[in-house]
Amino acid sequence: MNDIQCIMSTYGRSPVAFTRGVGTRLWDEEGREYLDFLAGIGVNNLGHCPPKVTAAICAQAGQLIHTSNLYRIPLQEQLARRLTATCFADQAFFCNSGAEANEAAIKLTRKYMRDHGQPGRFEIITAVHGFHGRTLATLSATAQEKVQRGFEPLMPGFRYVPFNDAGCVERAISPYTAGILVEPIQGESGVRIPDEGYLEALRAIADRHGLLLIFDEVQTGMGRTGKFWSHQWSTMTPDIMTVAKGLASGVPMGACLASAKVAASFSPGTHASTFGGNPLACAAALATLESLIDDGVIAGVAARSAQLVQRLDSLAASHSMIKTTRCRGLMAAVELNGGAEEVAAMCLNRGLLLSLQMGTTLRMLPPLTITPEEIDQGMAILDGVLSDLF
């Protein structure tokens, strides 16, 4: 048995292994160079090996990596203050991934209802084609049969409705409903951007029925769309929000953020995470926030997004195989009429990394630090692939 056979077959891995990365570029074992338009699936928002984050990780690793949440962690306290200052939230719970953050949000919603005299309200409404994680609870919240198949019976307590249809949300409410959980933009299903007013409508529905509104910003947060949080393109706020991916630039970290009123339902012993918010992860996250905000990275997303939209529009006008393009900030998708798998494979072969979603859509999540020249280079590769295949 060789080395790779010792790993469980949970991924359909491409036959390439990377050994080094700087900014938007990666190099494989043979020294071939690639443009990374996926950024570790929206994790490396500052690119690969960002100097400020790398220095913070090295310094913290030489001082203290882990203690325990049985004791105060000053870096965690600093991070919570800095993170909550970016949004509606008053308090944070730190964990290790987006799935764990969503687990915390689900538990917090149920506990809040029980604490407020409504223990029978435990169901959460989620959107079809959304994605919230691979644990049993978050898998049950994810309304995609392809990721649920084989793991039945699923955990009860979730009702599914079409995305971008507030009327269906209202009709799905029952005496058991506790909350509404959605992504402000659906990422895994191919960058599905809702109509203007959809998020505001969800807020109004939640208020009218006494529900909690939960936003999964695991993929859309941390500046990805040009605002620190994607829901900040609207005029409302949720009660709970989850984040991970770009939070610590590749060091595993997630967080569940909530208003003080809702967060009060978590008391000592109700929830925990051994590694969540340890000193190493917090040092990486603090350096990430400093780069995103203080160094002006997020402020530069609008210009790069406008360039990317222009290039995508040009591609769509030139290639009839493109059904549509979608873009918000540096979160983009090219939906094809066919042949998407072949396009993705040829892009990889020519040195451009992106991902295939739903069998028809190419998703792009480049680093927020991508240069204009790199955008042009990546789009030129995609243009050439489309020309050669179709």
Q: From first to last of its 390 residues, what are the pLDDT tens digits of the chain?
A: 788 889 999 999 999 999 999 999 999 999 999 999 999 999 999 999 999 999 999 999 999 999 999 999 999 999 999 999 999 999 999 999 999 999 999 999 999 999 999 999 999 999 999 999 999 999 999 999 999 999 999 999 999 999 999 999 999 999 999 999 999 999 999 999 999 999 999 999 999 999 999 999 999 999 999 999 999 999 999 999 999 999 999 999 999 999 999 999 999 999 999 999 999 999 999 999 999 999 999 999 999 999 999 999 999 999 999 999 999 999 999 999 999 999 999 999 999 999 999 999 999 999 999 999 999 999 999 999 999 999
Helices (H) and strands (E) in the chain, counts: 13, 15
Q: Is 42 within 8 Å of 224 (Cβ atoms)?
A: yes
Q: What's the token pair of residue 254? A: 């997630």
CATH of the domain at 194: 3.40.640.10
Distance CA 233, CA 319 (A): 31
Quick one: 287 and 327 in the same domain?
Answer: no
Quick one: 117 and 35 in the same domain?
Answer: no
Place of tokens 């409508």: 201
Domain termination site, one of 257, 274, 294: 294
Quick one: 252 and 322 in the same domain?
Answer: no
CB atoms closer than 10 angstroms to residue 256: 29
Quick one: 104 and 212 in the same domain?
Answer: yes
Domain termination site, one of 294, 323, 346: 294
Quick one: 168 and 266 in the same domain?
Answer: yes
Task: List the catalytic residue out of 88, 131, 215, 228.
Answer: 131
Quick one: 69 and 217 in the same domain?
Answer: yes
Q: What's the token pair of residue 321? A: 């195989």
Distance CA 214, CA 206 (A): 10
Quick one: 116 and 194 in the same domain?
Answer: yes
Into how many domains does the chain fold?
2
* 173, HSE (Cβ side, Cα atoms, 13 Å): 19
Distance CA 227, CA 255 (A): 18
CATH of the domain at 306: 3.90.1150.10
Instruction: Reply yes or no on whether 216 is catalytic.
Output: yes
Distance CA 5, CA 383 (A): 36
Quick one: 27 and 148 in the same domain?
Answer: no
Laid out side by side, the sheet with 123-127 consists of 91-95, 254-258, 240-243, 212-216, 177-182, 123-127, 158-161
* 54, HSE (Cβ side, Cα atoms, 13 Å): 10
Quick one: 308 and 208 in the same domain?
Answer: no
Q: What's the token pair of residue 217? A: 């910003």
Quick one: 22 and 107 in the same domain?
Answer: no
Which amino acid is located at 325 in the chain? T
Distance CA 42, CA 367 (A): 8
Quick one: 115 and 254 in the same domain?
Answer: yes
Domain termination site, one of 262, 277, 294: 294
Which amino acid is located at 86 in the chain? T
Q: Domain of 373?
A: 4-50+298-389
Task: List the catalytic residue out of 122, 216, 228, 266.
Answer: 216
Instruction: Reply yes or no on whether 245 is catalytic.
Output: yes
Quick one: 186 and 123 in the same domain?
Answer: yes
CB atoms closer than 10 angstroms to residue 272: 13
